[in-house]
Amino acid sequence: MTREEIIAQMAADAKTTKVAARTALDSFIGCVTKTLKKGGRVSLVGFGTFSVSKRNARTGRNPQTGASIEIPARKVARFKAGKALSGEVNR
């Protein structure tokens, strides 16, 4: 599902305009992004939790040459599905 399809579905479900749905979606994404940048977590009971985790530096291989390369440490966004979402997906 694309961003535009999500906006159209949100507008239809909420019986509102696509402009209002786009604003709501942008606000949600902005809130999650700001919270994760600060190192926080966003928990939506039944849906899931967005969080940040750290990946340590490691050695990898260039698949074309086979040469060893150093992959630097970094932070990555994570999402863990909640019990209700997992239950619906596995139905």
* pLDDT single digits (tens) 49-70: 999 999 999 999 999 999 999 9
* Nearest Cα to Cα of residue 45 among 10, 84, 91: 84
* pLDDT single digits (tens) 35-51: 999 999 999 999 999 99
CA 23 to chain CA mean position, Å: 18
pLDDT at 9: 97
Task: Provide the pLDDT confidence category of residue 90 given band limits of 50, 70 and 90.
Answer: confident
| Residues forming a β-bridge with 76 | 53
0.85 exceeded by pTM: no
Per domain, the residue ranges of the chain are 1-38
Task: Provide the pLDDT confidence category of residue 15 given band limits of 50, 70 and 90.
Answer: very high
Distance, in Å, from the CA atom of 59 to the CA atom of 69, rounded to the nearest integer, reads: 6
